[in-house]
Amino acid sequence: MDPDSNPKPGAQPAATPGQANTDGAAADAASTCIEIGDFNAWYGDYQAIHQLSLSVPRNQVTAFIGPSGCGKSTLLKWINRMNDIVPNAHAKGTLTLKEDESGQEVDVLSPSTDAVALRRRIGIVFQKPNPFPKTIYQNVAFGPRLHLNASRGEMDELVEWALKKAALWDEVKDRLHQSALGLSGGQQQRLCIARAIAIGPNILLMDEPCSALDPASTSRVEDLIFELREQYSIVIVTHSMQQASRVSDRTAFFYQGRLIESGATEQIFTMPREQRTEDYVSGKFG
C-alpha cells in the first residue's frame, strides 16, 4: 500500500501547504471541523469552562495553551466525549462536529449521539504513552478489528500504512509481533498515534503528547504533527510555548476557564490583542 494514500473512510483531500485562516476571522463552514458555541462545563458544582465559543479549522493544527486548570484539557475531553465516564461531569452549549465539507453535522453533546462511533471520527493521544500490553501489530490492528471487516491481507496493509504515517515502520517492521511495551517512550507515543489514525479519524486530539518525552523524541513527534496536518485536523494541548509556536497554525489561549483570545499563532505570539495573553506568552505568569 502506498504510504501516502489514505485507506480510511471519509478521507479528506490534503490542505494546501501553509493554508491558514486570517487573524480574527471565524472559519467559514467549509473550512471548519468543530464549531463550539456558548459552551459551559462542570465537574459537580465546579465550573471548569465558561461561555466558550471557538471554531476549529480543518486540516490545520490548533494549539490550546494556558496555565494548569484553565479548562483546555477539559474541552479536549468533551470534544471526544471522554468526560462521559467522569462522575458528575456535565456540559451545556453547542459542540458540533462538521464531518466533511458537504456540511453534514454531528451534535457531540446529544444523548442520541453514539460516543463510540464519534471516537472513531475523533481520535485522541494522551499525555503518557499508553500502548496495550499486546504486540505492536495487535496495538495498531485493535481498533480496525472492532470497526472494519478486513481480510488478513488488508489488515496487514493497514497496519503498515499507519506505522509509516506515524514514522515508525522502519524501526519496528522486523518485530511487529513483539510486545509494544519493549519500545522506547518516544516510539510508544508514535505507536499510539498510529493506533489512533488506523481507525480512520478526521480529527486527532493530542493532550500534552510530548511532556513525558526526551528532546529527540519530542522533535520526532513534532515533525510527525507537521506532516499529519495535511490529512487531519489536529488539536494539541501544550504547556510549551515553544512547541505551540513551532507546530500550530492557530492558537487559543485559556485562562481561568475562559477563552481569552484565539487567532493565527504568529499573531498570538507577536501581537496579542489582550494583555493577559501577552503576559502569559512572555512568561510573566503560568
Q: What is the pLDDT along the chain (286 residues), one digit of tens a residue?
A: 444 444 443 333 333 323 333 343 444 545 899 999 999 999 999 999 999 999 999 999 999 999 999 999 999 999 999 999 999 999 999 999 986 555 679 999 999 999 988 998 999 999 899 999 999 999 999 999 988 888 999 999 999 999 999 999 999 999 999 999 999 999 999 999 999 999 989 999 999 999 888 899 899 899 999 889 888 999 999 999 999 999 999 999 999 999 999 999 999 999 999 999 999 999 988 6
Within a domain: residue 84?
yes
Tell me which residue range forms the domain holding 195.
31-281
Query: Which CATH number do you get for residue 124?
Result: 3.40.50.300
Residue 17 inside a domain? The answer is: no
In a domain, 101, yes or no: yes
CA angle 83/84/85 to nearest 5° reads: 85
As a whole number of angstroms, the distance between CA 248 and CA 244 comes to 6
In a domain, 8, yes or no: no
Q: Has residue 3 been placed in a domain?
A: no
CB neighbours of residue 75 within 10 Å: 27
pLDDT of the residue at 104: 79
Q: State CA 4 to chain mean position distance.
A: 20
How many structural domains compose the chain? 1
Tell me the DSSP string of 75-86.
HHHHHTTGGGGS
pLDDT at res. 43: 96
Would you say residue 9 lies in a domain? no
Q: Is residue 6 part of a domain?
A: no
Q: Residue 20: its pLDDT value, please?
A: 34
Q: What is the pLDDT of residue 274?
A: 96
Q: What sign does the dihedral 254-256-259-261 (CA atoms) show?
A: negative
The model's pTM is: 0.84
For residue 153, count CB atoms less than 10 angstroms from its CB and return exposed for 0-12, middle for 13-18, buried for 19 or more: exposed
* Locus of grid cell 496493509: 157
Q: What pLDDT is stored for residue 94 in this prediction?
A: 96
221: nearest Cα among 188, 195, 186: 186
DSSP string, 11-50: --PPPPTT--PPTTPPPPGGGEEEEEEEEEEEETTEEEEE
- Is 15 contained in some domain? no
